[in-house]
Amino acid sequence: MIGVNKIDMNRSEKAKWIGEVKPKNSGDHVIDPEKLSAPFGGNKSLSRFFCSGCGNMVEINNPTVKHLVAVMNLRTMPNVTGKYFQVGSCPNCGTSSTGGPFFTGVSLRDLPAVSGQ
C-alpha cells in the first residue's frame, strides 16, 4: 500500500503502543457445522477447538491437543478423530491476570452431522 509503513512488531510490542483489543466474550456463539467438519488446511492439524465465548475456531496440532487434554484433567490421550474441543474462553478472548491458562470450560465433543453427507 502506498504511504503505509509496515511496522514489524510482535503482539506484546504492539500492545505497548496501541493497547490490545480482544473480542467480547459473550458466551453465545454457535458452531457452523460445515466449517467445523471441513478438511484441515494444515498438514499437522489433528483437531479444532471452537470457542463459544468469542466464536473463534482454530485448527490445532499435537502440542495444543495435549494442553487441552491436560486442562480437562484426563490421564490418557483420547482419540480425537471425528471430534473437536469446545471451550468457553480461549487465548483470543480470555484474560489471565495471574498467568494461568486462557482455556476454560474445555470439553471434547463429536463432530456434528452435516446435511448432505
- Per-residue model confidence as pLDDT tens digits over 43-65: 899 999 999 888 889 999 999 99
Q: Are 57 and 37 in contact (CB under 8 A)?
A: no
| 93 close to 61: Cβ distance less than 8 angstroms | no
- Model confidence over 1-11: pLDDT tens digits? 444 444 555 55
Asked whether the whole model's pTM tops 0.85, one would answer no
Q: Does the residue 59 lie in any domain?
A: yes
Q: Does residue 1 lie within any of the structural domains?
A: no
Give the number of domains in the chain: 1
Residue 10 maps to a domain: no
Which are the contacts of 105, defined by CB distance < 8 A and separation ≥ 6? 52, 86, 87, 88, 89
Q: What tens digit of pLDDT does each residue of 67-117 get?
A: 999 999 998 999 999 999 999 888 888 765 555 558 889 999 999 887 765
Exposed, middle or buried by CB within 10 Å (0-12, 13-18, 19+), for 116?
exposed
Quick check: is 47 in a domain? yes
In a domain, 13, yes or no: no
32 domain residue, yes or no: yes
